[in-house]
Amino acid sequence: MNAKQVIAALGALAHDTRLAAFRLLVERGPDGLPAGMLADALGVPPSSLTFHLQQLVHAGLITQRRSGRQLIYATDFAVMNGLMAYLTENCCGNADTSTPVCCPPAAAAADPTDRRSA
């Protein structure tokens, strides 16, 4: 994934409705959900949801397929994983090692407001 694709993906996710739709589709897995069910689950009018889903499709984060009269939306997990890999590529300065090392969980990171560690 290149920087331009990452910027498009992050830009598409930078809206509460689109982020909620994406998260719901991730939970549903590769089968996805029909647009009507997504609209009901999110409490968003179908016409508004269509606009938001098209932004996610354009960014490559989700796919759209037709099943009869329904449009089914699903997460493109390869793109999602590529985005995550791009964001964590140099995590903790370990990009040059042959053994991947994960960044520490947020809870384990130092609290910047904790003055005792200063």
Strand spans (E) along 1-118: 33-34, 62-67, 70-75
Report the pLDDT value the prediction gives residue 88, as an integer from 0 to 100: 87
Domain positions in the chain are 3-79
CATH for the stretch 3-79: 1.10.10.10
Other C-beta atoms closer than 10 Å to the C-beta of 30 total 10
pLDDT at 9 over 50: yes
48-60 residue pLDDT tens? 999 999 999 999 9
Structure confidence at residue 89 (pLDDT):
83
Specify the pLDDT at position 72.
97
Distances (CA, A) of 100 to 2, 11, 97: 20, 28, 7
Q: Does residue 91 surpass a pLDDT of 60? A: yes
Please report how the helices 46-58 and 35-42 are oriented relative to each other, as an axis angle in degrees rounded to 10.
Answer: 110
pTM score of the predicted model: 0.77
